[in-house]
Amino acid sequence: MPNAPIRILFNTWANRENTNSQSLTAREIASRLSPERFRSSLFLGWGQEPDPKVGGREEIRLLRVPPRLGSLFIARELLWGSHDIVFYPALNPRASRLFRTGRRLGRKRLVVDGVETSLDQIAACGKEIQQRIFASLRQADLRTAITPAISRDLAQQHQLESEVVPLGVDLSLFQWVDRSHHEPPWKVVYVASIQQRKQTHIMLDLAQRLRSQDVEFHCIGPCLGDPAYCEALFARKARERLDKVTFHGELSQPEIYRHLRQADLYVLPSRLEGFGKTTLEAAASGLPAIVFSDYETTAVVDGETGFQVATEEEMLAAVEELLADPELRHEMGWAASAHAQTFSWDPIARRWETLFSRLAQGEAA
């Protein structure tokens, strides 16, 4: 049938509680694809509730993964499920390996793979993960990158061409907030997992340096990676009596927005990022952001919507400048909110529709 809907398997989780960046991205895209032109499938954990964005939708199928042999279930769907396109094939390590080795035996389908982090971050993950990611990328029929910098590095370092498709922001949730009525203590917020590569300890460095000022630091995100790193952060907080630092753990998207509404400044001290999706969510709520310039994010326009800095000292100076100047915070926050409007998920989903359609038409030809 020439007008049959294009069937896409997003190899990600639809679980309501899953806050993995790629899973959230897949749900945003799937929920916005034209139901007349596309059919989407996502995996759902056994006994888990689906994200309301994708649950109960006739055009979206949720594949419940059994508690035992889950990787085999996923691999079987990747290889022999009735899908035209597989997106994010490399997320599940075991299933990904089975898919790569058995792809010639499976149903003919197209593969879309995306790079949503810097190549420096991929290299820092270790040789085995790096090999798996690039093996998947080389087999893809369409590669995407979330920033021009990542696309450039893929071409220069690995001779892999890619389409640039940025991440988006849910503007129905993350909306501009008038902070003209805010009073001290000023609130600096960090939204990311708590782990070494995110350099969460810099938030404690900032709190130590600014302890005489009326400012609070709020860190939102789960502890990942080496548990000793989190334990060291908590021990340092107690030892140095950094009472103005609060760790909130993992929160839902609405809970994150509630904290962003109350905040005055956003800081992400990680150098190993691709885009910094939460930076864009902070921008949509009208928060200026301070990030490192290493990964050349398009979420922050340096000097207009916040600052991209090169050193920790520059980060401290930028924090001090913005905390001392409410008018500058307001100007940058307003510019940040306007900038975030250009990253609405709706037009980005239309971009994905075009790419999926072109890919499917090329295969048909």
Residue keyed to tokens 């900032």: 206
Residue 115 φ then ψ, to 5°: -110, 115
pLDDT at 364: 38
pTM score > 0.85 for this model? yes
pLDDT at 2: 55
Closest CA to 299 of 332, 329, 275: 275
Angstrom distance (rounded) from CA 353 to CA 355: 6
Residues of the chain with pLDDT under 70: 1-2, 91, 363-365
CA 306, 309, 311, 313 torsion-angle sign? negative
Query: Which pair of tokens denotes residue 166?
Result: 């940025």
pLDDT at 365: 31
3-state secondary structure at position 11: strand
pLDDT at 137: 92
Asked whether the bond before 67 is cis by omega within 30 degrees of 0, the reply is no
Residue 153 φ then ψ, to 5°: -65, -35
Task: Tally the residues of the chain.
Answer: 365
Q: What percent of the chain has pLDDT over 90?
A: 82
Q: Kindly state the DSSP code that residue 361 receives in the 8-state scheme.
A: H
DSSP track, 196-257:
GGGTTHHHHHHHHHTTTSSEEEEEES-B-S-HHHHHHHHHHHHHTT-TTEEEEE---HHHHH
**Whole-number Cα distances in Å, 253 to 173, 180, 256, 349:** 8, 24, 5, 20
- Cβ–Cβ under 8 Å, residues 236 and 242: yes
pLDDT at 91: 67
pLDDT at 90: 73
Angstrom distance (rounded) from CA 218 to CA 296: 25
